[in-house]
Amino acid sequence: MNIDNEELKPLSFENEEEQLKPLAFEPNHKDNEDNYIPISQLSTPEIKNKESNFIFFFGTADSGKSVILSSMLYYLSSQVGVLRPKQGTPNTKEAQVLLSDFFENIRQGILPNRTTRDQVTRLDFLFEPNNKSKKIPPINLTFLETSGENHNDIRRGGSYHNSIAAYLNADIPLTFIIVTSYEKAHKDDTIINEFLDELERKGKNLKLVNAILVISKWDKSGKMIVTNEEDLNNFINERLSRTSQRIDTYGLTKTYYTIGNIQNSNGVEKITELNLSTAEILSKWLYQSIVGYSLDYEGTFWERLKFGFRN
């Protein structure tokens, strides 16, 4: 092809928008524009209905927290008084449903289900003792149950889920029931101490805090009861050496727990004989630690005289 005869023509842009334009290097924002991006703050859930005595259960997965809670509620309502959901609380209906499930299951020997992760199961109750003494008044009890998996979050300086931290940060009367099992106590020594450290970081004075260490599933030892207090102390000293030092230093209480005889059938555990003796011990400790008087308080002379005439 001979290109000498071809006429060279300039580039044509029929559409003005298609014309070549110089490269632009304009900044995306003006120099004096404030482009600060604030850090998002996690919102802390607001705790309502603070007028109660809050009981916080600590324990890793499968430690027995739910079993202890359900049997305590069963004991309080079947042996020493009336326990009913407190009216006007956000979860009144939920508490009624869970309470019914607890009682129906325990009557049939069925162990309670595990708690859902990342949420606090809050149960608001009014407990009215059978004891008629004026020194043994009705009290509000708010039980807080959490998933054992959530308690692992505080290992090595970690932090709790917001729903749990809200209660630990709140200005409310808190009782701590620290649970570990007979079989796994030696594995929980470190995490229990990390929990106590967490309480101190939250401003709790462990010398003043209302807390008790509970060794659950004591039936796994081959015995239903601790016949000698020294047996319990030796177990704690051996399996929970660091926790034992904290308990002795701060004067915290310790006890053991069993729900009774449990048999495993096809991978499902069922209660074959219900034992409420340790539920009685823990429930009475809880009431006395809050009120200052035992549920067995016999009353003043005039009260005993009045009750004697009625009987």
Q: What is the pLDDT of residue 72?
A: 95
CB atoms within 10 A of CB 230: 9
CA distance 57 to 65: 7
Amino acid at 35: N
Amino acid at the residue 61 = A
Q: Give the CA diameter of the chain.
A: 135
Q: Which residues are registered as beta bridge partners of 139?
A: 127
Q: Hey, which residues does 219 pair with through a beta bridge? A: none
The answer to whether the CB of 244 falls within 8 A of the CB of 254 is no
DSSP-assigned beta bridge partners for residue 271: 262
Q: pLDDT value at position 37?
A: 47
Please state, in angstroms and rounded to a whole number, the distance separating the CA atoms of residues 182 and 301. 44
- Residue 232: the pLDDT is 95
List Cβ neighbours of 193 (8 Å cut-off, separation of 6 or more): 242, 243, 246
Whole-structure pTM value: 0.79
- The answer to whether the CB of 219 falls within 8 A of the CB of 262 is yes
Domain 53-302 grouped into CATH 3.30.70.330? no
Domain boundaries, the chain: 53-302
pLDDT attached to residue 209: 93
- Smallest Cα–Cα separation from 143: which of 61, 56, 211? 56
Would you give the DSSP letter of residue 158? -
Assess contact for 296 and 287: CB atoms under 8 A. no
**What pLDDT does 309 receive?**
44
The pLDDT assigned to 175 comes to 97
CA proximity to 194, closest of 255, 254, 249, 243? 243
- Between CA 92 and CA 73 the distance in angstroms is 16
Nearest to 123 by CA among 168, 87, 85, 151: 85
- Cβ(163)–Cβ(120) under 8 Å? yes
Do residues 106 and 69 make contact, with C-beta atoms less than 8 angstroms apart?
no
> What SS3 state is found at 87?
coil
60/148 Cα distance (integer angstroms): 4
> Which residue numbers in the chain have pLDDT < 50?
3, 11-13, 16-27, 29, 36-44, 309, 311
Burial class (CB in 10 A: 0-12, 13-18, 19+), 185: buried
Report the alpha-carbon distance of residue 221 to residue 183 in Å, rounded.
9
Contact residues for 278 (Cβ-Cβ < 8 A; gap 6+): 218, 255, 256, 257, 258
- Closest to 162 (Cα-Cα) out of 118, 201, 115: 118
